[in-house]
């Protein structure tokens, strides 16, 4: 079984969010399952030079983009026994940043065509092309139009994974004719409110659809979560599967994390040493027994930060410390900066993102707040569980599938959750978590449950293998 992952970010090469973690980890697990899996990415300017110097050019040619032919170079790098291809075109990718440019419609139309153009030239004929998010969503459409008469592609199947339905790649109608070089007969398959919707094209043309948790797969078939595509998703519900994301347990391991001064597995005493060190670093009172609450996230409405700000004054009345790390909307950035100024002994705010610093916060904190309005899967709660910081989450998407409420009577569960998107329910749940923290017996049971939580990629990878086999007729 040969599978080609098509994505626009991947650790350790380039990252803006959780997509990079998935593309960095899942192929490794698929390889263990016997899949010949390879990954193709744009060759961005921001990829570290150490990787670039190890790349080998294996093909150069041209790619049709509308009425023009654009240069393409394909560079290959083998790392950790996995093969990665990089699409090289400085006009499109030698820039500061990955997304948000005026010509993103053209850049990623080019990328999709370049991937398909390179395949016959590199001695790799995949059984499945596995596309991720809107930036690679045109490949199923192109296969059924521009490449449908070429024998090389006849048996190639496509899988499309929705990592976040909110981001769809919507562009003016002219893109369809001028960049995609398609006729009026194909416009219905990409049309969205009179515009071109890249993601919609994959929802229609891909052989099989997946998203990153079972609950989210059900949610997006309803109008509240469906981003105006719920009707189409209901229509294709028979081909839509939810497979929860995993966590790379080698990459995220508090016992072997180089960012931590005090490695640990699940011992509270070791966590408290990490807490005291972080308190020293941040200038917070060095009180190991005071519960530390962490918020490590993009500071945007999706993450439920309106709930956080609504209850914040009540929360700081509790005997807690709160550490916030992230960037995002200016209103939230300013709110948390002001809070740190008003409560310097209780709140520490950092408007930046630093992976090493984030690991220190996970290791030091006792509770991890994640009251998302919606959450396709989420990686924060998975890291928190791995590092023994009990997640407090809203019951949506992948948060439902990975966090089970702690029941005092039975000592079952690995975190805390609330159902309604309501600030007072959120505050009530936090107070319940704090009462568990104050009881050493209960907290010890919760920590053991967190340590037993298995969110590795093993099970999820097998789920993808089953889908590859089913779509190719492998069984």
Binding residues for ADP-alpha-D-glucose: 15
Selection from 193, 190, 191, 194 nearest residue 202 by Cα: 190
**Phi and psi at residue 60, in whole multiples of 5°?**
-135, 145
Please answer whether residues 253 and 362 qualify as being in contact, where contact means their C-beta atoms are separated by less than 8 angstroms. Answer: no
What is the C-alpha separation between 119 and 125, in angstroms, rounded? 6
Q: What residue has token string 């053209």?
A: 106
Burial of 37 (0-12, 13-18, 19+ CB in 10 A): buried
Q: Whats the size of the chain, residue-wise?
A: 475
> In what helix (H) or strand (E) does residue 278 lie, and over which residues does it extend?
helix 268-282
DSSP string, 169-218: -EE-THHHHHTS---GGGGGGTEETTEEEHHHHHHHH-SEEEES-HHHHH
Structure-token match 């070791």, residue found: 270
Among 182, 178, 170, CA closest to 104: 170
What tokens does 231 get? Answer: 């009707």
Where is the binding site, in residues? 15
């Amino acid at each position: 079984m040969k599978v080609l992952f098509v994505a626009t970010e991947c650790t350790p090469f380039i990252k803006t969010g959780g997509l990079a973690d998935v593309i960095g980890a899942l192929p490794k697990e698929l390889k263990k399952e016997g899949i010949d899996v390879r990954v193709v990415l744009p060759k961005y300017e921001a990829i570290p030079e150490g990787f670039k110097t190890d790349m080998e050019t294996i093909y150069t040619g041209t790619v049709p983009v509308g009425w023009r032919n654009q240069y393409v170079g394909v560079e290959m790098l083998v790392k950790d026994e996995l093969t990665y291809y990089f699409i090289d075109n400085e006009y499109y990718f030698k820039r500061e940043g990955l997304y948000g440019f005026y010509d993103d419609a053209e850049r990623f139309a080019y990328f999709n065509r370049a991937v398909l153009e390179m395949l016959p030239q590199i001695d790799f004929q995949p059984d499945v092309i596995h596309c991720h998010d809107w930036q690679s969503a045109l490949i199923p459409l192109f296969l059924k139009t521009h490449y449908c008469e070429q024998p090389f592609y006849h048996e190639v199947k496509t899988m499309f994974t929705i990592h976040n339905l909110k981001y769809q790649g919507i562009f003016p109608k002219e893109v369809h004719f001028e960049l995609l070089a398609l006729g009026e007969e194909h416009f219905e398959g990409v049309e969205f409110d009179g515009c071109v919707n890249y993601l919609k094209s994959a929802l229609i043309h891909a052989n099989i659809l997946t998203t990153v948790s079972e609950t989210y797969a059900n949610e997006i078939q309803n109008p509240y979560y469906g981003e105006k595509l719920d009707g189409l998703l209901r229509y294709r519900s028979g081909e839509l599967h939810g497979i929860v994301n995993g966590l790379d347990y080698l990459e995220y391991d508090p016992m072997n994390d180089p960012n931590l001064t005090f490695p640990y597995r699940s011992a509270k005493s070791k966590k408290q040493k990490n807490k005291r060190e972080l308190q020293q670093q941040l200038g917070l009172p060095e009180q190991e027994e005071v519960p530390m609450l962490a918020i490590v996230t993009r500071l945007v409405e999706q993450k439920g930060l309106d709930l956080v700000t609504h209850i914040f004054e009540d929360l700081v009345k509790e005997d807690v410390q709160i550490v916030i790390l992230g960037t995002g909307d200016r209103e939230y950035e300013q709110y948390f900066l002001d809070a740190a100024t008003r409560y310097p002994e209780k709140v520490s705010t950092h408007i930046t993102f630093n992976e090493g610093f984030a690991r220190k916060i996970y290791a030091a904190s006792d509770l991890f707040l994640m009251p998302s309005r919606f959450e396709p899967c989420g990686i924060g709660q998975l890291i928190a569980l791995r590092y023994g910081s009990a997640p407090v989450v809203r019951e949506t998407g992948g948060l439902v599938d990975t966090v089970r409420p702690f029941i005092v009577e039975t000592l079952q569960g690995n975190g805390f959750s609330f159902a309604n998107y309501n600030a007072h329910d959120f505050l009530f749940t936090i107070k319940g978590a704090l009462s568990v923290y104050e009881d050493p017996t209960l907290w010890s049971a919760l920590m053991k449950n967190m340590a037993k939580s298995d969110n590795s990629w093993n099970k999820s990878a097998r789920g993808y293998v089953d889908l590859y086999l089913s779509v190719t007729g492998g069984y």
